[in-house]
Amino acid sequence: MSPINLSIDCVILGFDNDQKLKVLLIKKIINEKNDYQYALPGDLVKIDEDLLTGAKRILKSLTSLDNIYLKQFYTFGNPNRTKEKKDQSWLRLYRKKPEERVVTVGYIALVNMEEYVPQASSFAFEAEWVEVNKLSQDLAFDHNHILSSGIEYLREQIDHKLISNLLPSKFTLSQLQNLYEILLDEKLDKRNFRKNISKIDVIKKTNEKQEGVAHKPAFLYTYDKVFKEN
Amino acid sequence: MSPINLSIDCVILGFDNDQKLKVLLIKKIINEKNDYQYALPGDLVKIDEDLLTGAKRILKSLTSLDNIYLKQFYTFGNPNRTKEKKDQSWLRLYRKKPEERVVTVGYIALVNMEEYVPQASSFAFEAEWVEVNKLSQDLAFDHNHILSSGIEYLREQIDHKLISNLLPSKFTLSQLQNLYEILLDEKLDKRNFRKNISKIDVIKKTNEKQEGVAHKPAFLYTYDKVFKEN
DNA sequence: ACAAAAGTGTTTTTTTTACACCCATGA
DNA sequence: TCATGGGTGTAAAAAAAACACTTTTGT
């Protein structure tokens, strides 16, 4: 039985105040003419590394993002997922055995685009935020499918560990509501939203307020320290 | 980079009318003295087989269970998950490279113990239903952990595809309620339960009734045909 | 003084829970 | 006729949804 390669692909979703959900993609050179292809940051797992450790290493090596909370969401094992013509060129350049099957484990994270600024390295010659809604249907391998599975996973049950990673350490309730609205893709009522948030005991109000805004400054909130550390 | 082996492990939960949740385990011979070890049915994925196809093949080859709806729930990749002493003996007997790392994808199913009667084959010399609550803490590899993850996954959101596989094609609402109570491990109110079920549009009442029972016969219900086929 | 976002409570509607008796059958 | 599980509705409580005005700041 010949070997199956194992890789990890990271769905990194970014958010800033422009109301658009973005995904972090890398550009990969696929031939000597410097043609490129967009892909999720991903690579092979090392022989002795835990999957989560691998996910963090790969993400850092391709985009320099570090200290990100990543969560496994699904494993993609279609035997033909790397066999399409569009993908062979890159595989032949970078993989010792480009014809071999690759099963990939999907990890997801949310990050604050202002706090985490990606810098391409390794075989990524660029790392770029792309608006999810404007995404063309031609990512590498089955990455369009992996991306939509990741987003779907996220919407199914909002995960405060993921969210707390995205937000700055102190944030306003409007920022949080904004994020929910983008993730859920629906408008929420401000008063009801605040009632609900007040029931979440890992979110705490601080005494601090926004500064330098041309309106009534909002109180800042934070995720419980213990919660963030686990 | 030396290869990573990929396997699949199946958490098959069984249910009959004795009110106990059971898991299907196989017995594996671990040495020449015929000592054995309990394990979840699982084996290596073939080089060119889809994960779901592999899960079905492996389950069938070890227990002869066929035509089971299986669902992927998590991938377990701790590099030491097969490295414990207790597991080396079996690995040396059956695996070409017993020292190599194995990442395993967990699949889960629910089956009707009366309809699906396991028969051991391949390296399983027995296939046996074991009550989950009475399970000793010494399954092969990290299978205790995989089993509890599977059960937790199931409880988090009841999946009617899994449930419809478990139940006979026609069932009473008491059978269904019984199943919910075992899965959720709590008593449910009969009237409220029926109100809720009536809102699930893939569950349909038939005109048929139970026969040969020493009490008022219950109407039989069924999952929508289209639903079962997808 | 004005523009901009912050903050705050009450009523209505919907959903969920609690609860008890008669019915049809086989033994 | 008795034991067994089947089947049904309503009221109370809890949760969710709808809704508008005043406040604080910078310009």
CATH of the domain at A197: 1.10.10.10
**Domain membership flag for residue B161:** no
**Domain membership flag for residue B18:** yes
**Domain membership flag for residue B174:** yes
Buried b (16+ CB within 10 A) or exposed e, A20-50: ebbbbbbbbbbeeeeebbbbbbbbbbbeebb
Q: For A73, name the nearest residue in chain B, comparing CA atoms only.
A: B74
How near does any CA of chain B get to the CA of A6, in Å? 7
Residues B224 and B139 both lie in one domain: no
- What pLDDT, on a 0 to 100 scale, did the predictor assign at position B136? 83
Residues A72 and A174 both lie in one domain: no
- What pLDDT, on a 0 to 100 scale, did the predictor assign at position B18? 67
Residue A127, number of CB atoms within 10 A of its CB? 20
Residues of A with Cβ-Cβ distance to B2 under 8 angstroms: 47
Answer yes or no: pTM beyond 0.85.
yes
Where do we find the tokens 């299978």? Answer: B143
Task: Using a pLDDT cut of 70, give the percent of chain A over it.
Answer: 98
Residues B25 and B129 both lie in one domain: yes
- What pLDDT, on a 0 to 100 scale, did the predictor assign at position A87? 96
Asked if residues A123 and A28 have their Cβ atoms less than 8 Å apart, the reply is: yes
Residue A45: strand, helix, or coil: coil
* Alpha-carbon gap, residue B180 to B178, rounded angstroms: 5
Overall domain count for chain B: 2
Asked if residues B164 and B227 have their Cβ atoms less than 8 Å apart, the reply is: yes
**Domain membership flag for residue A162:** no
Of the candidates A6, A44, A47, the beta carbon closest to that of B6 is on: A6
pLDDT digits (tens, 9 = 90+) for A131-145: 999 998 799 999 999
* A107 confidence band (pLDDT: 50, 70, 90): very high
- Picking from A156, A176, A194, the residue at the C-terminal end of a domain is A156
Residues B89 and B8 both lie in one domain: yes
**Domain membership flag for residue B162:** no
Residues B135 and B205 both lie in one domain: no
- What pLDDT, on a 0 to 100 scale, did the predictor assign at position B16? 73
A60: which residues sit within 8 A by CB, 6+ positions away?
A: A66
* Alpha-carbon gap, residue A69 to A161, rounded angstroms: 7
Residues B49 and B69 both lie in one domain: yes
* Alpha-carbon gap, residue B194 to A111, rounded angstroms: 44
* Alpha-carbon gap, residue A120 to A112, rounded angstroms: 17
Residues B175 and B147 both lie in one domain: no
The tens-digit pLDDT sequence of chain B (230 residues) is: 558 999 999 999 998 766 789 999 999 999 889 999 999 999 999 999 999 999 999 999 999 999 999 999 999 999 999 999 999 999 999 999 999 999 999 999 999 888 888 998 888 789 999 999 899 879 999 999 999 999 999 998 899 999 999 998 999 999 999 999 999 999 999 999 999 999 999 999 999 999 999 999 999 999 999 998 87
Residues B54 and B121 both lie in one domain: yes
Residues B149 and B183 both lie in one domain: no
* Alpha-carbon gap, residue B217 to A62, rounded angstroms: 65
Residues B80 and B173 both lie in one domain: no
**Domain membership flag for residue A161:** no
Residues A121 and A183 both lie in one domain: no
Please indicate if any CB of chain B lies within 8 Å of the CB of A149: no
- What pLDDT, on a 0 to 100 scale, did the predictor assign at position B3? 83
- Picking from A107, A129, A156, the residue at the C-terminal end of a domain is A156
Please give the nucleotide, over all strands, whose C1' is closest to the CA of residue B221.
D6
Residues B123 and B225 both lie in one domain: no
Instruction: Inform me whether the pLDDT recorded for A127 exceeds 60.
Output: yes
Q: Give the ranges where chain B is alpha helix by DSSP (H).
A: 51-63, 85-94, 143-156, 160-166, 173-184, 190-198, 225-229
Residue B67 tokens, joined: 């035509």
How near does any CA of chain A get to the CA of B105, in Å? 8
Contact A3/B4, CB-based, under 8 Å? yes
CATH of the domain at B60: 3.90.79.10
Range of the domain at B213: 167-229
The one-letter code for the residue type at A172 is T
Contact A75/B51, CB-based, under 8 Å? yes
Backbone φ and ψ of B216, nearest 5°? -55, 125
Cα–chain center distance at A27: 16
* A18 confidence band (pLDDT: 50, 70, 90): low
B53: which residues sit within 8 A by CB, 6+ positions away?
A: none
- Picking from B156, B189, B215, the residue at the C-terminal end of a domain is B156
Interface probe, candidates B7, B75, B153, B159, chain A, greatest A C-beta count within 10 A: B75
